[in-house]
Amino acid sequence: MYAKFISFLNQPVKSPGLKNKYNPAIEQYRGLCALLVMMEHGTGHTDMLFKNFTWPLYVNYFGAGFLSVIMFFCISGYVIGITNSNTNFSIWPYIKKRMIRLYPIYLISIALCVIIAGGITVYVLFGNIFFLQNDTPYFGFKVPIFINYVTWTLNSEVLYYLLFIIIIYLKPKVWKLLLFMLILTLLVTIAPPSFLAGYANGYYFWILGLFIGWNLIKGDNDVPIQPVPILSLLFLHLCQHHLGIGQMILHTLGVYTYSGLNWLFDIPFCLMVMSILTNRDNAFLRFNKIVCFILPAFVFIFLIATNRIFEDIRWMMCLIYWILSLVFYFERKASAFIADKLTGVGKISYALYLLHVPVALLIKKLISISNPTAEIVVKYLLWISITFSLSILLELYLQPAIRKTLTRE
């Protein structure tokens, strides 16, 4: 294993020249992540739709925003990897393709935000159009996120797209790239909050996806294709997100930092999910999978031993999710059925992600119902139906039409 690890570090970060293959499992998990983000905002951020309504506390644990976002980063790095090769890479077609993918739906989401706000300053408008929005200042220079708070991820995503150009031309060895990222992480860890911290931590997950897309993280060649235990992964995803093991470990070690360093402890989980989705399997990946499923048990054993397991609904919900992740690990029929339905959600996941907040805020602005129960039912039904309908229209009809028009020779 040591020899394989050294071989991995000495690999150049470059495309193996593999032919791009559509992976339905990746699409399905992307759809699942979009739903988990929507669920977190729909239950934990009820001020999107209502002025005075909150769900019971346990409902707030039905979604998983941040972990789903960093899984988006992993999937993004993977997709960029399998769709770009060193042999035929050209900067302008690459940038053009990314702009066509990002902008049409993004501009529509901005237009919805303008309707909600009733106007926007030129400074904020152009700052958001060029993906400069970030609540953390750039050395004192700040572009506020305009209403749609989920768009902070696009600010990071665009930077990662640009850094990919450097990687594909320089083809650095794995150890050099990881060393650079480690040094940057250590620097931002000891500093006060800065925009570099979020970029550095999120980039680990994007690079992880790229490594898998470019086959730098290899599996056994003769492993048969295994069905994805989507239900088990869903429940472990929820447990991992809400348990916050990384933060617990850091606090135990006496490390308190503003940099969000606890995100790095989600790397094993993301590696496990990406490996399962891409059917990679070897001794190290199997060990990593065991760690991901077993590590929460140590937290629960400690909480039970200290009679704290019932003191917080958070612990109880995480324990339930962890148990369900084990129960459904070998289940396949329900997982296959759910995964099949998630394929369509994955195809419209970008629009779902960008539109669910402004659609909710627009419903809140335009619709007022005096009966509390009716208001809850009507607004949630409108939010879900409008968001999904608009996403289908934009992703499956408008986006392809724009791409066909702009890429026509």
For the chain, domain boundaries: 2-406
What pLDDT is recorded for position 191? 62
pLDDT at 257 over 70: no
The DSSP code sequence of 31-64 is HHHHHHHHHHHHHH-GGGT-SS----GGGGGS--
**pLDDT per position as a tens digit, 67-122:** 999 999 999 999 999 999 888 899 999 999 999 999 999 999 999 999 999 989 99
Higher pLDDT, 233 or 226: 233
Query: Rounded to 5 degrees, what are φ and ψ at 138?
Result: -90, 90
User: What is the percentage of the chain residues whose pLDDT exceeds 70?
Assistant: 93
CA distances to 63, 74, 237, 241, 342 from 269, in Å? 17, 11, 8, 10, 20
**pLDDT per position as a tens digit, 112-166:** 999 999 989 999 999 999 999 987 777 778 899 999 999 999 999 999 999 999 9
Tokens in use for 105? Answer: 């739906």
pLDDT at 184 over 90: no
Task: Find out whether 42 and 380 touch, Cβ atoms under 8 Å.
Answer: yes
pLDDT at 409 over 60: no
What pLDDT is recorded for position 198? 74
pLDDT at 192 over 70: no
pLDDT band at 203 (very low <50, low <70, confident <90, very high): very high
Report the chain's mean pLDDT, rounded to a whole number: 90
User: What is the percentage of the chain residues whose pLDDT exceeds 90?
Assistant: 73
Q: Closest Cα to residue 149, out of 170, 125, 128, 119?
A: 128
In a 3-state reduction of DSSP, which class is residue 208?
A: helix
DSSP state of 394: I
The C-alpha atoms of residue 3 and residue 259 are separated, in whole angstroms, by 33
**pLDDT per position as a tens digit, 336-393:** 999 999 999 999 999 999 999 999 999 999 999 999 999 999 999 999 999 999 999 9
pTM: 0.94
What pLDDT is recorded for position 87? 84
